[in-house]
Amino acid sequence: MRILVTGGLGYIGSHTCVCLLKNNYEVVIIDNLSNSNIDVLEKIEKITDKKVTFYEGDLCNKELVRKIFKDNKIDEVIHFAGYKAVGESVLQPLKYYRNNLDSTLTLLEVMQEFSCHNLVFSSSATVYGTPKKLPIKEDFPLSTTNPYGTTKLMIERILADVSKANKDFKVIVLRYFNPIGADPSGLIGEDPKGIPNNLMPYIVRVANKELPILSVFGDDYNTHDGTGVRDYIHVVDLAKGHLKALEKCLKSKGIDYYNLGTGTGYSVLDLVNTFEKVNKVEVPYKIVNRRPGDIDACYADPTKAYKELGFKAELGIEDMCRDSYNFIIKNKESHN
Ligand code: NAD
Ligand code: UFG
């Protein structure tokens, strides 16, 4: 089986490519390196001792996408490519609508031209907006609070329409909760450019003394210690979820939606304390005001993915903290 992975050099994409190669899939990647580094390609190949077919370029470039489908018989597609920074999407909405929607439309049109009918799409728990109850199930009402989230929801709707119009077209939509962690080799991981927005990349930089102190955004939420609660999932587990989705896609009809989370919520301070304990480092922090738009708590009901995909996250919060730090330690030269 040959899988086209869009955005395959990014954080989740690279871990998924490793998982695919280890399971004897052939992998073709398209990535424009807008949020990734070409070194990741070599690292994927080093971890797996397998070769990848790589196209550097933009998924909005229809001629290039056609060439990829012409040169390679693609059986299924996993679509990761897109921009993902919530704050930036509020400031530059058109950048997000243009890239995330245009790339998806181009991909879908070319898939149709080449009669490739199997797609796994990276959506997000952000499409649940502010959930009324917890844990979150797939049939909860959908809404968004920022342009990034709106692109995800719009793409979900586009995919539903396309699968309705074309009975052969099968889609698995995966709604990720909060992916953290890294491959245990320490070769690939999450390495955002500039000052990180997300919690774990910020914690590792504070632990590594690249940033002085973590700001904890609010301790007056309705949670066990007042700080925000999220469903953190190890990126290696998340990657495995994509293999399950590919298997399911071949057998399914129409469109299906799955949460990929652990089902357990941890607070900001739970994560900080576990990180300090597991890695024997200090993570100084201060409590500051809430970040606008944040919610108290968000965690998945993972039952549907377990029952229908056979997916269950296996790694715990300790593994996530250990592997996130290991990645930064192994890549210290590029950080200090
Ligand atoms: P990432 O930024 O690390 O990876 C995305 C990759 O896509 C990058 O390598 C980037 O260079 C590439 N890319 C972007 N636009 C492109 C284009 N037009 N053509 C070709 N390549 C392009 O992000 P990630 O964390 O790996 O996320 C992957 C997907 O999962 C994204 O769609 C994201 O919205 C979604 N997601 C991520 C999270 C998260 O917390 N990381 C949570 C929910 C959903
Ligand atoms: N937080 C801090 N300090 C920081 C960063 C975050 O206290 O410096 C807190 C937040 O307030 C929140 C928790 O840590 O309570 C997690 O925040 P993240 O920014 O890591 O993650 P979010 O849950 O806000 O959002 C992430 C992605 C979204 C995605 C969502 C659900 O950024 O794109 O998970 O998948 F939609």
Same domain, 66 and 144: yes
With the most atoms of ligand 1 within 8 angstroms of its CB, the residue from 32, 84, 159, 258 to mutate is 84
Same domain, 110 and 58: yes
If asked whether residues 172 and 126 sit together in one domain, one would say: yes
Q: Is the CB of 125 under 6 A from ligand 2?
A: yes
Residue among 11, 60, 90 nearest 292 (CA) = 90
**Same domain for 271 and 154:** no
Q: Is residue 222 a part of any domain in this protein?
A: yes
Tell me which of 6, 11, 17, 95 to substitute to probe ligand 1's pocket, judged by most ligand atoms within 8 Å of the beta carbon: 11
Q: How many domains does the chain have?
A: 2
Question: Which among 329, 234, 327 is positioned nearest to 43, based on CA atoms?
Answer: 327
Question: What are the structure tokens assigned to 130, written together?
Answer: 């502010």
Domain containing 313: what range?
199-230+263-327
Measured CA to CA, the distance from residue 37 to residue 190 in angstroms comes to 11
Would you write out the chain's pLDDT as a tens digit for each of its 336 residues? 999 999 999 999 999 999 999 999 999 999 999 999 999 999 999 999 999 999 999 999 999 999 999 999 999 999 999 999 999 999 999 999 999 999 999 999 999 999 999 999 999 999 999 998 999 999 999 999 999 999 999 999 999 999 999 999 999 999 999 999 999 999 999 988 889 999 999 999 999 999 999 999 999 999 999 999 999 999 999 999 999 999 999 999 999 999 999 999 999 999 999 999 999 999 999 999 999 889 999 999 999 999 999 999 999 999 999 999 999 999 876 655
Residue 334 lies in a domain: no
CB hemisphere CA count around 228 (13 angstroms): 21
Query: How many residues are there in the chain?
Result: 336
Query: Does 248 contact ligand 2 (Cβ within 6 A)?
Result: no
260, 283, 294 from 300: Cα distances, Å:
7, 27, 17
Q: Are residues 119 and 174 in the same domain?
A: yes
Assess if residue 193 is contained within a domain.
Answer: no
State residue 193's pLDDT score: 82
207, 290: one domain: yes
Q: Is residue 245 domain-shared with residue 322, that is, in the same domain?
A: no
Distance CA 209, CA 335 (A): 10
Residues taking part in catalysis? 148
Residue 119 CA, ligand 2 centroid: distance in Å: 27
**Within this chain, do residues 159 and 46 fall inside the same structural domain, yes or no?**
yes
Whether residue 255 lies inside any domain: the answer is yes
Both tokens of 259, joined, read 């949460």
The pLDDT value recorded for residue 66 is 98
Considering the domain boundaries, does residue 19 fall inside one?
yes
Ligand 2 near 266 CB (within 6 A) = no
* Residues 153 and 221 grouped into a single domain: no
Residue 326 DSSP SS3: helix
Q: Round to whole Å and give the CA distance between 336 and 332.
A: 6
pLDDT of residue 336: 54
> Euclidean distance between the first and final Cα of the chain, in Å?
41
Residue 192's pLDDT is: 86
- Within-domain flag for 194: no
Ligand 2 atom 5: residue of nearest CA = 199
List CB contacts of 180: < 8 A, sequence separation 6 or more: 190, 199, 200, 232, 233, 234, 235, 320, 324
Q: Are residues 158 and 284 in the same domain?
A: no
pLDDT score for 122: 98
> Which mutation among 14, 35, 257 tests ligand 1's pocket best, with the greatest number of atoms within 8 A of CB?
35
Cα–Cα dist 183/151, whole Å: 29
Same domain, 87 and 175: yes
Rounded Cα gap, residues 193 and 202, in angstroms: 12
Ligand 1 atom, smallest distance to 79 CA: 32
Is the beta carbon of 176 within 6 A of some atom in ligand 2? yes
**CATH number of the structural domain spanning residue 317:** 3.90.25.10
Choose one of 245, 260, 275: the last residue of a domain.
Answer: 260
CB-defined site of ligand 1, < 6 Å? 7, 9-13, 30-36, 58-60, 80-82, 84, 99, 103, 122, 124, 176, 179
| Residue 192 within any structural domain of the chain | no
- CA 122 to ligand 1 centroid distance, Å: 8
Residue 94: per-residue pLDDT: 98
Asked if residue 226 has its Cβ within 6 Å of ligand 2, the reply is: no
Q: Report the C-alpha gap between 192 and 11 in whole angstroms.
A: 9
288 part of a folded domain:
yes
Residue closest via CA to ligand 1's atom 4 equals: 10
Q: Is residue 177 in contact with ligand 2, taking CB distance under 6 Å?
A: yes
Same domain, 209 and 242: no
Q: Single out the residue of 34, 38, 14, 35 nearest to residue 192, CA to CA.
A: 35
Q: What is the pTM of this model?
A: 0.98
Rounded Cα–Cα distance for residues 87 and 145 (Å): 11
Atom number, ligand 1, closest to the C-alpha of residue 59? 19
List of residues 6+ apart from 8 with CB closer than 8 A: 14, 16, 17, 27, 29, 30, 31, 52, 78, 80
Residue 142, domain CATH: 3.40.50.720
Q: Is the CB of 92 under 6 A from ligand 2?
A: no
Ligand nearest to the CA of 270: 2
DSSP-derived secondary structure letter, 128: B
Which among 266, 245, 270, 272 is positioned nearest to 123, based on CA atoms?
245
Does the C-beta of 179 come closer than 6 Å to ligand 2?
no
